[in-house]
Chain A
Amino acid sequence: MNTWIAVAATAVGCYAVKLAGLLVPAGALERPLVKRLAALLPVALLAALTAQQTFADGRALVLDARAAGLAAAAVALVLRAPFLLVVAAAVLVTAGVRAMGG
């Protein structure tokens, strides 16, 4: 029963915040500063998320094979490689470094 309560509370809470963002009236977002802020917030969130997925192990910061993989992806991006090649570079280099015991 406790588990169902937790599942229900999480579902309601998570859905509510998702909907809240979408329901903010367009008029409230008209002001140039608010507009700029709304455009920059996802950039900040996604950048932080990308960094955490690369360097975090639980709550510890680590430098492992993923960092090498992401570096390879960054190089591929600078070379204007197509999307799939960028992701493939990250996966292959990460696997390679791990295979070598990194």
Chain B
Amino acid sequence: MTSAGSGLTLLQTCALSLLVFTGASQFALVGALAAGGNPFTAAAGAFFLGVRNAFYGLRLSQLLALPRGLRPLAAQWVIDETTAVTLAQPTRRSARIGFTVTGATLYVLWNLTTLLGALGAKAIGDTDAWGLDAAGPAVFLALLAPMLKTATERAVAGLAVLLGLGLLPVLPAGVPVLAAALAAPAVLYLEGRRRGGARADAREDDER
């Protein structure tokens, strides 16, 4: 959508949306190219923003249990939105349906809006004035809330928010979110230590 104004052709803009299909990476690439960056540095920045999809894949492969042959096809749809929807499903069947429907819908809509945007169709004015930029995080919040069942999940989410926001001004785009992923191993480690400590205390009690 922003790419038409930064020197990408219609074909390049649409190819980017169809082949990359990770919003943040696309915007980063277009921004870097518009700023006159060389193609490899620009691609590296976009790549960083896409790395989190690998972590999503780890969890999705457990939840979806896809046949090997389907995985290369499903891979293109492994993004923030499909992961959030899939994780919120109670059963494998609904997880598969959620992943497929979200993936297909977003893929079609995303590429359609890219095409329309690149063709120069005027958007519905300033979407920010309608508050629509709050819809994205609100959807994530609604999908995330039921996952925060135990203290562990809440601690991970809380620490991730602190890391993601705290590192935002100091690290290049895409890296703060990856750094926030460290909240997961950090909380697991602390939890393990506390449990280990509790066990040691119990042993001391026994000896007394």
Contacts and interface: CB of A to CB of B under 8 A. Distances in A.
A36 B192 CA distance: 12
Nearest to B41: A6
A70 B161 contact: no
Given A9-B40, A53-B140, A48 B180 contact: yes
Chain A interface, DSSP helix/strand/loop, else mixed: helix
A91 B141 CA distance: 13
A46 B144 contact: yes
A54 B165 CA distance: 10
A37 B184 contact: yes
B157 to A, nearest CB: 4
Interface string B47-70: 100111111111111100110000
Contacts of B194: none
Contacts of A5: 39-40, 43
A27 to B, nearest CB: 12
Interface residues of B, number: 91
A14 B84 CA distance: 19
Interface stretch (B15-23, B105-113, B197-205): B15-23
Contacts of B56: 21, 41-42, 45
A33 B191 CA distance: 12
B94 to A, nearest CB: 14
Contact of A48 (B128, B160, B173): B160
B54 A73 contact: no
A20 to B, nearest CB: 5
Interface of A: 2-7, 9-11, 13-15, 17-24, 26, 29, 33, 35-56, 59-61, 65-66, 69-70, 73-74, 77, 83, 86-87, 89-96, 98-99
15 contacts: A6-B43, A22-B71, A22-B74, A33-B188, A39-B59, A43-B153, A44-B180, A44-B182, A46-B143, A47-B156, A49-B140, A53-B136, A65-B131, A70-B141, A90-B137
Given A40-B188, A43-B157, 4 more contacts: A3-B8, A38-B62, A49-B80, A77-B145
